[in-house]
Amino acid sequence: MSIFLQKQKKNNPQSHKVGRFLITINVLGSAGPIRFLVNVEDLVAAVIDTALRSYAREGRLPILGSDLNNFFLYSANAGSDALSPWEAIGSHGGRNFLLCKKQQQTQVTDDGAVLGRKGSGNWKAWLNKSLNFKISSH
């Protein structure tokens, strides 16, 4: 970086407002965490997107996909509530997070057909469809 650019950064008051910090995201089912720098004002949704792209670029397993709407991000320091995708990542003061895939919902019609099924689905719905009888839930 040139001396001129370094002086501009020092004199620019906005360059000091944006703080960056290193976060660690553990992905449920993956062997190790993902680490990268974020800005304090970055939205949780943007952090999830960056984590998914980084995870895929590294070729990690299990394959998660790229739709950030299918995931929750939890703070390791906070309670059991997922972070809102529209809040700033720095609003909690935490540096450690957990990324979890949302559970896919399935619906079973009266004739046993499964609607909206993604992934492995529900074992009761599979059994109902396979054996064509109903198992009641408790």
pLDDT of 31 reads 87
- pLDDT tens, position by position, 101-125: 988 765 556 665 655 544 444 545 5
pLDDT band at 7, cuts 50/70/90?
very low
Three-state secondary structure of 46-91: HHHHHHHHHHHHCCCCCCCCCCHHHEEEEECCCCCCCCCCCCEHHH
Fold type of domain 19-101: Ubiquitin-like (UB roll) (3.10.20)
Domain ranges of the chain: 19-101, 104-138
What number is the average pLDDT over the span 80-84? 89
